Amino acid sequence: MESRAPARFEDVVLPHLDAAYTLARYLVRNAQDAEDIVQDACLRALKYFAGFRGEGGTSARAWLLTIVRNTAHSWHKRHRPDALTTEFDETQHSDAVPHDHVDAKETIGRALERLAPEFREVIVLRELQGLSYKEISDVAGVPVGTVMSRLSRARARLQDALREEEVR
């Protein structure tokens, strides 16, 4: 039993590594930190894998993403206590594109970065990773109704950001 678990872990969890890494990238906005977080999260996942049975329809993807999210949050608490609550800081992104060269693609990317973390994560989970509301609710640890309203508010903010950019 013990020896079979690692092989299954590879089959079940590794297919979602890109999703895990993408989520981490958007949560911490730094490639190196994201890599560390995903590694930590996967080692944790490996440790608890024996307990993962996909109960209640939890997909392996949502399960892994939950661990990544929690790892990112505790990592933030430890290393950057203020980072999860502060919004995008322009000064930390000195390579930000000069304003007149901005097109819609860059605008949406920057608008997403500026979103508060709880909005950013629902957008990433839904739009980039196609999770159901139920799965997002598991990952983010909030009721489905909250997922629904957060997603809607997040989209409204992104739309506002795009409109502002057009006006300029």
Site residues for other proteins per CB under 8 A: 2, 6-7, 9-10, 13-14, 17-22, 25, 32, 34-36, 38-40, 42-43, 46-47, 75, 78-79, 81, 104-109, 112, 123-124, 126-129, 132-133, 148-149, 151-152, 155-156, 158-159, 162
Rg (alpha carbons) of the chain, rounded to whole number: 17
In contact, 13 and 64? CB cutoff 8 Å: yes
Q: Residue 6, exposed/middle/buried by CB under 10 A (0-12, 13-18, 19+)?
A: exposed
Nearer to other proteins by Cβ, of 17 and 93: the residue is: 17
Reported for 151-155, long-range contacts at CB under 8 A and 24+ positions apart, including other chains, are 151/122, 151/123, 151/126, 153/119, 154/115, 154/119, 154/120, 154/122, 154/123, 155/123
Amino acid at 128: L
Closest contact distance (angstroms) between CB of 117 and other proteins is 16
Nearer to other proteins by Cβ, of 58 and 106: the residue is: 106
Amino acid at 26: Y
Closest contact distance (angstroms) between CB of 141 and other proteins is 18
Closest contact distance (angstroms) between CB of 135 and other proteins is 11
Closest contact distance (angstroms) between CB of 35 and other proteins is 5
The first and second tokens of residue 155, run together, are: 């989209």
Nearer to other proteins by Cβ, of 58 and 144: the residue is: 144
Nearer to other proteins by Cβ, of 58 and 134: the residue is: 134
Closest contact distance (angstroms) between CB of 99 and other proteins is 17
Amino acid at 9: F
